[in-house]
Amino acid sequence: MRIRLGIPMQLSEIARATQSILNQSNDALITNISTDTRDLQKGDLFIAIKGKNYNGEDFLSTARMLGAYTLSSSKDSDIICNDSLDALLNLASYYAKKLPNILYKIAITGSVGKTTTKEFTKILLSTRYKVHSSSGNYNNEIGMPMSILSADADTEILLMEMGMNHRGEISRMSNCLCPNIALITNIGTAHIGNLGSREEIVAAKMEIRYGMSDGILILPYDEPLLKKYEPSYSFSDMDAGADFYLKSDDKNDILIYYKQNLLCVSKFKLMEKHHLSCLLAALSIAISAGVDPDSVSRGISLISNDNTRQTTIYKKGIHFYLDCYNASYESMIACIRSAESALITGHKHLLLGDILELGDMAEEIHYNVGRNISRNVFDYLFLFGSHAGYIAKGAISNGFPIERIIHNADLSSPEKTAEQIKLLCSVGDTVFLKASRSIRLERVVDHFFKE
């Protein structure tokens, strides 16, 4: 990935910020940084990241041929560091402190809803502040610091999403950002195959506190595993015992309460349960950051499906609702419930793919997903991937007719599923898609464009 520095820096300043050695006399001004030689340009700084399956130092010669400066542990680099990933995190931490107008640094993590909560939060905060947030999937130890480094000089709020696969990753990101507001959306089962239990997931998510000192911690009120912690504020879309909670009335107005007192009333276009939870989380952050209730209400009215990860495509007379960025048990259920409540004219169908990184719990979790699929709402259940077969077993146990379940276990043949949809679906029908990112479920829809 390649970013433009909001505030350009000299090579010597970057060397000091990363506790590295400047290995040349040309103290060039750096305006762009990249971790990938495929988008590298002359005069950029190439940071050669080393990963488990990737060594950026293998591309140092390519970077030099392109006319870029280099930062790595190699003695031939323009800036020599001990560890390139640590250097990137240290540089971003230095840069965040360098921004002259920063008022709040905000971190969001959780098993489900991180990105939606971040997008909702950005809208609410932007009614008052100049907000810079992480974009796309820039939520890991590389993407998050690169997002920080792209913040403009007049940024007042850094709003960062933090994802993780293993213990220790969020702690390093938290120590980089040093947030003064941090929120956990929920505790689910995502990456349980790597971490082993929901208790371990809690421990990993709570690493978000490691870079904080006297900051505001916001937690979901309804999660039993978080009860032992003492947050600054709690939120819930169902329990009035939380600091922030909401109700909806027969006019589809959202009534927001803070400690039993009505805070604001607003129109909200997305009434599914998972969207309401993300809204409460975002609102908790906005109020904590000093946004007034009237501005919050105005911001809520601006939120729409464009601020979620769901993409809508219409092709060959069929509506496709794609949510293929990532998946967990909780987000799968949210997708199913959202599809159930969607007001459409034609028939509804589901296309679900594998949930990854579940380890020994893969069969149980996929089976339970199937148990949540109603035979009275969906006409066909299309499944893609080997684990998705367990979804079929769960659906059948819940009464879903076996003849209406179409399973393609071959991940290399998305065209097979595309042909099945073309054969069984009619003009005006809607297909809801959900799977883990690595399944690349959108490939099925791609085949509708190849004719």
Domains of the chain, CATH where assigned: 2-83 (3.40.1390.10), 99-306 (3.40.1190.10), 311-449 (3.90.190.20)
Task: Give the torsion through C-alpha atoms of 230, 233, 238, 240, to 10 deg.
Answer: 90
CA 419 to chain centroid: 31
Six-digit token pair at 76? Answer: 């031939």
pLDDT at 190: 62
pLDDT at 352: 95
Work out whether strand 405-408 and strand 378-384 pair parallel, antiparallel, or are unpaired. parallel
Q: Are 300 and 124 in contact (CB under 8 A)?
A: yes
Q: How far apart are CA 168 and CA 204, in angstroms?
A: 7
Measure Cα distances from 149 to 83, 92, 171, 355 in Å: 18, 6, 19, 32
Alpha helices in 26-168 (DSSP H): 60-65, 84-98, 114-125, 143-149
pLDDT at 172: 96
Point out the residues of the chain with pLDDT beneath 70.
136-137, 189-196, 250-252, 271-273, 305-310, 449-451
pLDDT at 144: 94
CA 224 to chain centroid: 23
- Closest to 448 in 3D by CA, of 427, 434, 439: 427
From first CA to last CA, the distance across the chain in angstroms is: 33
pLDDT at 72: 96
Is pTM beyond 0.85 here?
no
pLDDT at 250: 64
Helices H / strands E in the chain, number of each:
15, 21
pLDDT at 356: 87
pLDDT in tens, 293-310: 999 999 988 887 665 556
- Closest to 390 in 3D by CA, of 407, 377, 412: 407
Q: How far apart are CA 16 and CA 361, in angstroms?
A: 46
Q: Are 46 and 71 in contact (CB under 8 A)?
A: yes
Torsion sign (Cα): 138, 229, 220, 216: negative
Q: How far apart are CA 126 and CA 114, in angstroms?
A: 18
Alpha helices in 196-272 (DSSP H): 198-205
Give the count of alpha carbons within 13 A of 150, CB side only. 19
